[in-house]
Amino acid sequence: MEPRLLPINAVLGLLVPGDVNPAALFDTGFRLAGLEVPVVGPDGRVVPDMVLFHAARSHLVLVEAKSGRMSTTAKPGATRRSTRSLSCRQPE
């Protein structure tokens, strides 16, 4: 497996029942809603690696995962951009 995919696979493991580790996110109600889904908010557009959704609580979790060299060479402002507030509407 490519080292850059290790963090994504770790999160996926928490969403898949019957995997090597307990599926803690799945057990609490989260489901994978998408991979690399563009999300637009008042401060701009981001493309998180993963989007998790908890239907009963209407919670979205945006996951951006880095490993190895990518985790230490992020562009200036990347952290600021990843913590912007995003608004989501349910389809009508």
Residue pLDDT, tens place only, 31-53: 999 999 998 888 889 899 999 99
Res. 74: pLDDT tops 50: yes
Contacts of 52 (CB under 8 A, 6+ apart): 15, 25, 30, 31, 32, 33, 60, 61, 63
Residue 67, pLDDT score: 67
Res. 71: pLDDT tops 60: no
Residue 87, pLDDT score: 46
The length of the chain in residues reads: 92
Torsion angle defined by CA atoms of residues 20, 37, 1 and 74, in that order, rounded to the nearest 10 degrees: -110
How do the domains of the chain map onto residue ranges?
Answer: 3-71
Confidence tier at 85 by pLDDT (50, 70, 90): very low
Three-class SS of residue 17? coil
